[in-house]
Amino acid sequence: MGADETLGAGRGASGPVPPVPGHTDCSEALLRAYEFLDGELAPGDCARIQAHLEECRQCLQQYELDITLKALIKRSCRHEHAPDTLRMTIMSRISMTVTRLEEF
Ligand SMILES: [Zn+2]
């Protein structure tokens, strides 16, 4: 029989797998991230979002941004009032997130 040696050779170690759009629902993960932050998710959903954040760098970055924003908002609420620049930054970040979500 013919030797089929063209396949099988040359496949090196598996590299990092780039996030595939649509494979895991990033939009849902990001939407749920807010509930996840607030601890409002059911344990099952919680694990699902956490698993997604661990394997999806884009969502993880967004999630960390959310954490930072939340901390900023909390801090600025405790102290007097949020500076207008901070509030504008937060609002633009949030609208950026919404825009990105709508692109999916
Ligand atoms: Zn994702």
Q: Where are the domains of the chain?
A: 26-103
At residue 21, the pLDDT reads: 47
pTM value?
0.48
Q: Token pair of 47, please?
A: 């694990």
How far does residue 46's CA lie from ligand 1's centre (Å)?
Answer: 14
Are 104 and 26 contacting, i.e. CB atoms less than 8 angstroms apart? yes
How far does residue 2's CA lie from ligand 1's centre (Å)?
Answer: 44
At residue 14, the pLDDT reads: 57
Are 37 and 67 contacting, i.e. CB atoms less than 8 angstroms apart? yes
At residue 56, the pLDDT reads: 92
How far does residue 54's CA lie from ligand 1's centre (Å)?
Answer: 9
How far does residue 100's CA lie from ligand 1's centre (Å)?
Answer: 12
Q: How far is residue 29 from each of residues 76, 85, 94, measured CA to CA in Å? A: 27, 29, 15
Residues of the chain with pLDDT under 70: 1-24, 77-83, 103-104
How far does residue 75's CA lie from ligand 1's centre (Å)?
Answer: 28
